[in-house]
Structure 1
Amino acid sequence: MGKRKHADAATEGKDKKYTKIKLANVSGETPVLATFPGITPARDIEFTPYKRNYETSEEKANQRVLVADADKVVFQGTNFGASGPHNLNCSYYVGVYSKSKNEVQVVPARLVAMRRHVKASETERVSASKSKLQQRQALGLAFGSRRVKTELRNNERNAVDANKIEDQVTDAMASVERNVASMPTSEQLRKEVAANLPIPVHNVDATTLEEAYDLNSIVTSDELNAIPIKDVFKVTSMEEMQAWLPFGFSKFINNKLYSLISATGKKDRHLARLLVYVSYLMAYYCKVKRNDLTDHERLSKVLKHPPALIIEGLTNRYADGCVLISVFSRSPQMADKILCYMMVLCLMLQDFKVYPDLLATDLSLKASHVTNILRSLGCKIDVCNAEDIIRAGFDPKSKAKKATLVVPLKFPEIKKGGGSRR
């Protein structure tokens, strides 16, 4: 009996060691996986799937259209056709884990590529019944002789209906009044633009520079603590430090970090972690290519093997795609988001004053592009004075610029109308 109990216990232990995976029996609609490239819908938006309501082929029966109607936009996506996902070489499942049974029940899921459509204002159409004269003219134009058709066309071309013109003017004025009443104010537009900017969490009513942007929305404390700064404090030369950093071409990072390492006394480890994280961001922006985003090993190699928490944070914040299927890309909006988050950290690391020309050189970008990014973050752009030129090491004859963060935050105003053409 003792041996049998021991054998049963061993079998039971072996069963608990492995998780069972079962295909769930689902009679209704199966789940839908949706990808949102470059957009983030609100959490409270309700999505409704649609399918064909008649018998058809198995391929068409599996087709779905996913729609959600928001205040100003409509989200719509399909799993078929030109707007659906392409080059899918596998099937997708959604699983639910039962801790008590130690098993996962999976169901097949459809992958839908979502798109955003802005609602356009539509003018109301007023239909009027045709009069007897109009009906006669229509019959004459359809069945009359050539001479009758010519006369009817001439009469129609030369006729002036005062009542019709008055009705059209009234309808036009009413349409203009409706459109003007529904137009947002400049303040509403400013807030809407600020909310849609690819910038970190911010406080437009901040009274101090430290309160303007939330550091935790850029990088969490867990990510910073995961950075292995013990290794960087062991370097003995600038060249050795550049070889260790994921992006060793930035004078902004190199000068600050090496000064911190070579200084005597207690080292500011939090400052060192922030500098190394900016180096990760620069490498992610400049060195990581599109094919690297979907290959975890290649991405880790390009970034010089950072902790897994760093790679996960960079992918979640700055890559378009679906985490479940590990397909990622980088849109122009995401590229600007990387620069915005990076520039906020650079401002924090240098008393909220940076030089766009130096950062543009580090990132191989035009100085005007970096200046526009800093301006969109709420920075004031000025020409460097003599002291700034000496501190930054510019040519005394240069007209370099300086970006200074100003509170309360003021974002670029919306330009009304277009410039005059010459």
Structure 2
Amino acid sequence: MSPASTPTNKRKRNDDGEKEISLRLGSSSSGIAPMLVSFPALEAPESTPFKLYARKKSKTKEKDGDSAKFERMLVVGETPAVEFLTNEEETNNVARSGSRYLLAVHNRRTGSVVLLPEAKAPHVLSRTVKNLKAIPPAPAPSAAAYREARTALGETFGTKKAQAAIRAQERNRVDVDAMKGAIPFVMDGIDKGAEGLLTKEEAKEFADANRLIPPFSLDATDPSDIYSLHDVIPETEWKAINVTPFDEAKEFKERRDLLPYRHSKWLNDHLYHTYQGEMKHKKRKIKLLYYISTLMDFRLIRFGKDGIEKDRISDKLKGVPNIIVDGLISRFTETTRGSTACHITSATETKLLAYLLALCLRVDGFTSNPNVLGQDLNLALTQVNQIFKSLGCKYKALSERDRVKLGLSETLANLKMQVLTAPVEFPRVRTGKKNTGR
């Protein structure tokens, strides 16, 4: 290594016989400088020969600085029993961490010390025992072997609490190997138990059949065909409704008094507009209004805890044909074993409201205002909307075209209505548990 053209600092021999030493700064343009290595676990003997190898240059166009040269260098050493080689990953980690050293080379013959101009990072060497090269590495322990070793260690050196936890865990562990012989019997039992279970299609049909709503058609392309009229009002009951008194009445008050229930704004508005001018299907509409009024009046009967006999129900529904009263009792009440008293439950009341609102949709042209009906039925808007939803309705604001078609004013532009469209789509039934946030 050629020294730089820098002034030489010499120290003369002292009287006590010390030799003078010259200190010089090495040139950065010199050849390969001494390398610094680190032995992590085993130190090589001083007589071990080391060689320096360089990797091939990268094809990418970049300047080959000293750092680039350093990254391509490999230090290799060998003894009869052990080989040493640069661990590139560890060496790069040390270099990136900023661990660098200044080296100085002492020439004993000339008594000079050359200080290298650049700091160097050490090469971290890894070792390989030659006799162990032919032995394949041991496979990684399995999860079971690791668990057994950890359990043995915990039972030997663990605290009493840790040992108790290990024993409890061992008691609760299922021996998979012991269960292998029983798996065919378990699977046979599952197959036999699943024979009576419903398929997805059968479960859907079962859920549809048990909805608390009138019979419906999923294939209907017109809203009027979704809930057939005589599926809601049996034909015998329909024919029992007499509309002649309504036609013979001269005033609106007389017609209103013919209804079983007279305190509904929705009913009174429709009854009033039915006789204003010419209207198609007037007789049909009067029958619908009369039946809806009967359902409203039937719902207000107080059944009480002990129920009501059929005769008393007929007395409360004065003027209503007996065939209609008997039909309402059979569809919307229940009787207990050994008793003739009629009871109304939450399920039968929901069913009655669903039938009632299905008829209201037919009168309203399948677009109903839930606010008005909720007030007449003394129900919260959410309850009314939930029943409409179970019927397959959609709660939305009407477009201008729909408002004109139904003869509604512009003041209802922002009011949401319950609309029944075909084909009908019902809400999905939730099967999971409700998330309480706990």
> Number of paired residues?
268
| 8 Å CA contact retained: 2:396, 2:416 | yes
Structure 2 equivalent of residue 357 of structure 1: 371
* Aligned pair partner of 2:210 in 193, 196, 214: 196
User: Counterparts of 1:43-62 in structure 2 under 5 Å?
Assistant: none
- SS of the equivalent of 1:382 reads strand
Identical counterparts, % of pairs: 25
CA spacing shift, 1:355–1:226, aligned 2, 3 Å? same
Whole-Å Cα distance in 1 between the matches of residues 337 and 324 of structure 2?
15
Give the 3-state SS of the residue equivalent to 2:224 in structure 1: helix
d(CA) in 2 for partners of 1:273, 1:364? 24
**Structure 1 segment 30-69 matched on structure 2, within 5 A:** none
SS of equivalent to 2:217:
coil
1:239-388 matched pairs, under 5 angstroms: 239-264=253-278, 268-285=282-299, 287-291=300-304, 294-321=308-335, 326-384=340-398
Code of the residue aligned with 2:221 in structure 1: it is T
Contact 2:333 2:344 in 1 (8 A): yes
- Judged with a 3 Å threshold, the aligned counterparts in structure 2 of structure 1 residues 421 and 383 are, in CA distance, closer, same or farther, namely farther
Match of 2:419 in 1: 404
TM-score, reference length from structure 1 = 0.54
1:192-219 superposed Cα distances (whole Å, 9 cap, x missing partner)? 3222101111111212222211221221
Structure 2 residue runs without a partner (length 5+)? 1-162
> How far apart are 1:406 and its partner, in Å?
1.9
Q: CA RMSD in A?
A: 4.0
Q: Which runs of 5+ in 1 are unaligned?
A: 1-152
Counterpart-to-counterpart distance in 1, 2:336 and 2:172: 61
The counterpart of 2:223, out of the listed 205, 209, 212, is: 209
Which deviations, in whole Å up to 9, do the C-alpha atoms of 1:302-333 show, x marking residues without a partner?
32321111111111111111699532101100
Q: Give the whole-Å Cα distance in 1 for the aligned partners of 2:366 and 2:337.
A: 35
Higher relative contact order (CA 8 A, sep 6+): 1
Q: Give the TM-score taking structure 2 as reference length.
A: 0.52
Q: CA deviation at 1:273?
A: 0.9
Aligned pair 1:421/2:437, yes or no?
Answer: yes
1:231-289, Cα deviation, whole Å (9 max, x unpaired) = 2223333333333311112222211122223435887212211110111011111x211
Partners in 2 of 1:307 and 1:354 — Cα distance?
28
* Aligned match of 1:166: 176
Quote how far apart the aligned CAs of 1:185 are: 6.2
Taking structure 1 as reference, are residues 161 and 407 closer, same or farther at Cα in structure 2, changes over 3 Å only? Answer: same
The change in CA–CA distance for 1:165 and 1:327 in structure 2 (over 3 A counts) is same
> Can you list the C-alpha shifts for 1:336-358, whole angstroms capped at 9, x where unaligned?
00011111111111211111111
Instruction: Tell which deviates more after alignment, 340-349 or 185-194.
Output: 185-194
Letter in 2 for 1:402: M
Indicate conservation of the 8 Å contact 1:261/1:267, yes or no: no
Pair member with larger Rg: 2
| Pair 256,187 (structure 1): closer, same or farther in 2 beyond 3 Å | same
- The farther-off stretch of 153-162 and 295-304 is 153-162
Residue 242 of structure 1 contacts residue 249 of structure 1 at CA under 8 Å; is this kept in 2? no
Q: Is contact 1:227–1:273 with CA below 8 Å preserved after alignment? A: yes
Amino acid at match of 1:421: G
SS state at 1:402 partner: strand
8 Å Cα contact 2:310/2:342 also seen in 1: no
Report what 1:112 is aligned to.
none
Aligned-residue offset at 1:224: 1.9
* 1:381 alignment partner, SS class: strand
